[in-house]
Amino acid sequence: MSKRSSDGPVRWLNPDEERAWRAFRRMVIAVQTGTARDLSRAGLSEPDYEVLSTLSERPDHAGTLHEQAAKMGWSRSRLSRHATRMEARGLIRRAPDPADGRGCLLVLTDHGLDTLIDAAPAHLESVRHHFIDRLAPEDLTALEHIAGKVEAQDRAHRPPQP
């Protein structure tokens, strides 16, 4: 394998960096796999839950497709396709966005709110089981600090949204 890329020398991970990266990836996969499996028992996917819980926290239980896509790190087209499936299940509905004639609002339906309320206790227990209860309070503080650093750098290097 070449040690050069088109942008110059490749900065390979040293053994400590590689162990940390692989440990992080294994942790994320383990937590996501466990919580997704548990959430599926309520008939929801992790993206379903993210959309429902975010909308439940917003005024009028509505938010723009653009805002929701940005929050989830998804493209608008990907979220639009997912929203279509959620809409078919009666969890959300679309409404015109009064601030943007080309956009739409995603609106939490009564059925969607009831589904979220029913799923939330089991989901929170799953999060505790697969993540929170496995860590000491100082681990959680350190993780929050690390996540803040990564997110701040990500925001600083993200292209502006139209």
pLDDT digits (tens, 9 = 90+) for 33-67: 999 999 999 999 999 999 999 999 998 999 999 89
- Amino acid at position 36, single letter: A
pTM: 0.82
Q: How far is CA 116 from the centre of its chain?
A: 16
CB atoms within 10 A of CB 159: 5
pLDDT in tens, 72-107: 889 999 999 999 999 999 999 999 988 887 889 999
Average pLDDT, integer, range 17-28: 96
Q: What is the pLDDT of residue 6?
A: 66
Rounded Cα gap, residues 117 and 124, in angstroms: 11
CATH 2.40.30.170, applies to 44-126: no
* Category of 9 on φ-ψ map: left (φ > 0), alpha (ψ -120 to 50) or beta: beta
Q: State whether residue 105 is helix, strand or coil.
A: strand
Judge whether 34 and 26 are in contact, CB under 8 Å: no
